[in-house]
Amino acid sequence: MAEGQPRITTAGTRAVAAYGLMIGGVILLYLWIRSYGETLGAPLASGTAIFGSAASRANAGDLLHVLLALVVVIATARAMGSIFRSVGQPQVIGEILAGIVLGPSLLGRLAPGAEGYLFPATVGPALNIIAQVGVILYMFLVGLELDPALLRKRGHTTVAISHASIVAPFLLGAAIALYLYPKLSTGDVPFTCFSLFLGVSMSVTAFPVLARILTDRRIHKTRMGAIALTCAAVDDVTAWCMLAFVVSVARAQAAGAVATIAMALGFIALMIVVVRPAMVRLSLVYGNRGRLTQGVMAAIFVALLISASATELIGIHAVFGAFALGAVIPHDSGMARELTDRLEDIVIVLLLPAFFAYTGLRTQIGLVSGYEQWMMCALIVVVASAGKFGGSVAAARITGLNWRDSSALGVLMNTRGLMELIVLNIGLEMNVISPTLFAMLVIMALVTTFATTPILHLITRHEIPEVQPFPEFGTFSPEPMVAPQAPILAPHPAPHAAPRPAQPPARPMMAKTDHSAILVPVSNPEGVAVLVELALAATPPDAPPPRVLALVKTPPGGVRSGLREADQRVPPRSPALAAALDLALERGSIITPQAVWTTNPAADILAFAKEPQIGWLLLGSHRAVFGSDFMGGVVREILDKARELPVHVAVVIHGGERPLDRVFAVVDRGIHGRAALDLALRVAIRKKSGLHAVLVPEDGTAEDTELLDLIRDAGRALGRRLHTDVLSAPTAAQLARQTPGGLVVIATNLADKLGLSAEDLTDPKRCVVVVQGSDSAPVQFGAHAAEHHRTAKP
């Protein structure tokens, strides 16, 4: 046998033969079983029906149509929602319009064959069930977002404004019912039901959309914004109670309406007296375990389904039960927060688009035809707007608001959005309103919601919003603990822990010299390691530990109003901060962590940089801080505005695979060069490594006296470990040859002068830092480093 050729053993041959015999034996045995089995007989079918079998053959293609319809619906809803959000409109307007575009109002007119294929009549029941489940879950989430404190904290003022914003449009809606009933209703619908429903449909305010508009414009903490939120919360609860009453009247006979209302009141009492305490206990179970287990989720879903079924059996629709259960779960609990996080995406992305499509398929704008009917539609829009705006403004003026705030409040209360569609679909299902009136009211909901943002901008464009500062540093962070020999890192708070009550924050240990702490903003876990390593290495022994600030963008929309995030009542969960804490624990070092919600990262980072102890701002490239490139986007905005602050800024170009044991500083005598030398000297002293200073003289010669004096001062701090060189040629290539270390710190003006690009600076084997100094920030190496050099052990 040739050398290197595999040797076939006798044992291997036997194994292959045994395997072949086993497979062959199985085949032969089955063939024998089959030949005998075909000679046997069996009784005839009993005819017992199996659930779903009757439709399985007739509607074999329905599942394909449903799935295809959902693909088209989701893609169109997301695309149109993004377009409307990009122009400053609520995303829900685009999603509602997507449903109408795909229905008979547009697609059915332009391409009836495509509409007939995507949405055949046979998929209607399936789409309806998906839509109903989506609405039930959505109303549950709306209940979770409802803050009971808003219903209590402003007393008679907001209750008066809220009820005025309901009473006025309700009465106007009931009044125009006298004109619309003979023209748009039918004889089998009692006028009482018609007028009550029309009045309620005029009275609805969409709390989630209103709150999102306020938080996006950062005016939710102004007096007008706070009143608007409270009024909308009161309006929401009152309007849903009114609708429950109207539905109970419409579904029951005159004698049965009283029984329905009595059972509804009993249901509400049961939710408050029995279910709410149970949910409080369940939230405590959640808090003890720190996460939403499958058992807790199952209990909540069972309660949700029972609650929705109970209100459906009572006769006031399943959405009320879902809303009620959400409202009795503690609003600011970690359980409520995680429930929203887990459910919102599936509801917003998958289920609600099905509801919009189902609504769009039922909306036939073509039914509104002729001059008279379009005038009726215009009348509905005017009456709905005048009722909401007029009632709110009149009540606000009586309670003491000025004309501008009163007008802004009236505009905000006119927001309807998705909540109006839910009301209208209930009315259409009950045949209280006709398809023509349904189309008119859908148009009214779109127009009033669309008009809110531009009119509000016109009213408040000259106002400066009352921007609330973040809580003082440490509010949601563990207090740093310092031990002389073995530093201890305080444990990070549980990601779902309830926020602590407001109290004076504990300050970190004060350094002997101000402006010595390093602030490290992070957002992406991938860039955290090099930032924290460098911050720890650049922190003098007597300075406060590095402050790691995790920036988490406020959720962009959906069910969330954004209030809990904007008010910092719920601390964000940041994988970047968790990575920083893990690294510090692994190193046995100390950091001061904090996570904050943000809608404007540059402004928020600069606000924290104004803290009296902060002397350095250590930024990562765009992977660690929001931005487009390492010196652009948010990083560029921070660099430009930080010149006015007493803080040096260092931008870290990610790398750092090599240890920081050979430090190079590319400096001149300017403020940026001094700051770069300061940072490099801090690291060299703390790491007990050598420092190579590559000098770039002002006049191109080595006789730059001021620069040499600066280097002598650094030498006194570092001793013999300082080595100097002069950049022999002002090129990026020459700089790369003269700085072969693991850490290169360069002044920003020299990086610009040498024409360094991202490609020149990005080296996976080393860390490159570009430093911008500040005229008003002290350079600390002369004090810190010299003292440390005298006291450090050899």
Tens of pLDDT, residues 205-257:
887 777 777 777 777 667 777 778 778 777 777 777 888 888 877 776 544 66
pLDDT of 782 higher than 50: no
Most confident residue range from 246-250, 274-278, 525-529, 575-579:
274-278
pLDDT at position 784: 44
pLDDT at position 18: 78
Percentage of residues of the chain with pLDDT beyond 70? 77
Q: Work out the average pLDDT over 128-143.
A: 88
Q: Is the dihedral of CA 209, 214, 220, 222 positive or negative?
A: negative
pLDDT-based confidence at residue 792 (cuts at 50, 70, 90): very low
pLDDT at position 327: 86
pLDDT-based confidence at residue 523 (cuts at 50, 70, 90): confident
pLDDT-based confidence at residue 570 (cuts at 50, 70, 90): low
State how far the Cα of 333 lies from the Cα of 283, in Å rounded to an integer.
7
Helical (H) or strand (E) element with 552: strand 547-553
Residues in CB range of 518: below 8 A, 6 or more apart: 535, 538, 539, 543, 546, 547, 614, 615, 616, 617, 618
pLDDT-based confidence at residue 724 (cuts at 50, 70, 90): confident
Nearest residue to 527 via CA among 590, 489, 573, 574 = 574
pLDDT-based confidence at residue 564 (cuts at 50, 70, 90): low
pLDDT at position 378: 94
Side by side, which strands form the sheet with 690-695?
592-598, 547-553, 517-522, 614-620, 648-653, 767-772, 743-747, 662-667, 690-695, 722-726
Most confident residue range from 34-43, 142-151, 394-403, 555-564:
394-403
pLDDT of 163 higher than 70: yes
pLDDT of 611 higher than 80: yes
pLDDT at position 440: 93
pLDDT of 591 higher than 50: yes
Which 8-state DSSP code applies to residue 527?
G
pLDDT at position 487: 36
Residue in this structure with the two tokens 């809303």, named with its chain if needed? 323
pLDDT at position 443: 93
pLDDT of 490 higher than 70: no
Token digits of residue 220? 């939710």
Q: Work out the average pLDDT over 25-40.
A: 78
pLDDT of 625 higher than 60: no
Q: Taking all residues of the chain, what is their mean pLDDT, rounded to a whole number?
A: 77
- The residue with greater pLDDT, 400 or 68, is 68
3-state secondary structure 67-100: HHHHHHHHHHHHHHHHHHHHCCCCHHHHHHHHHH
pLDDT at position 444: 93
3-state secondary structure 498-518: CCCCCCCCCCCCCCCCCCCEE
Do 595 and 494 form a contact (C-beta atoms < 8 A)? no
- Compute the C-alpha angle 395/399/401, nearest 5°: 90
pLDDT of 785 higher than 80: no
Least confident stretch, 330-334, 679-683, 759-763, 769-773: 759-763
pLDDT of 598 higher than 90: no
Do 702 and 728 form a contact (C-beta atoms < 8 A)? no
State how far the Cα of 387 lies from the Cα of 410, in Å rounded to an integer.
9
pLDDT-based confidence at residue 500 (cuts at 50, 70, 90): very low
pLDDT of 509 higher than 60: no
Q: Work out the average pLDDT over 155-179.
A: 82
- The residue with greater pLDDT, 496 or 459, is 459
pLDDT at position 235: 79
Least confident stretch, 99-113, 291-305, 398-412, 564-578: 564-578
pLDDT at position 471: 39
State how far the Cα of 462 lies from the Cα of 216, in Å rounded to an integer.
17
- The residue with greater pLDDT, 460 or 347, is 347
Residues in CB range of 6: below 8 A, 6 or more apart: none
Least confident stretch, 78-82, 637-641, 691-695, 713-717: 713-717
Q: Work out the average pLDDT over 278-293.
A: 79
Do 131 and 351 form a contact (C-beta atoms < 8 A)? yes
Q: Work out the average pLDDT over 781-791.
A: 44
pLDDT-based confidence at residue 688 (cuts at 50, 70, 90): confident
pLDDT of 53 higher than 70: no
Residue in this structure with the two tokens 């149509």, named with its chain if needed? 65
pLDDT of 20 higher than 60: yes
State how far the Cα of 747 lies from the Cα of 376, in Å rounded to an integer.
70
State how far the Cα of 409 lies from the Cα of 236, in Å rounded to an integer.
15
State how far the Cα of 298 lies from the Cα of 300, in Å rounded to an integer.
5
Q: Work out the average pLDDT over 128-145.
A: 88
State how far the Cα of 350 lies from the Cα of 346, in Å rounded to an integer.
5
pLDDT-based confidence at residue 45 (cuts at 50, 70, 90): low
Q: Work out the average pLDDT over 744-773.
A: 76
Three-state secondary-structure class, residue 56? helix
Q: Is the dihedral of CA 597, 602, 604, 605 positive or negative?
A: positive
Compute the residue count for the chain: 794
Nearest residue to 786 via CA among 716, 732, 731, 692 = 716
Three-state secondary-structure class, residue 158? helix
pLDDT-based confidence at residue 442 (cuts at 50, 70, 90): very high
pLDDT-based confidence at residue 474 (cuts at 50, 70, 90): very low
Q: Work out the average pLDDT over 422-442.
A: 89
pLDDT of 583 higher than 50: yes
pLDDT of 527 higher than 90: no
pLDDT at position 469: 40
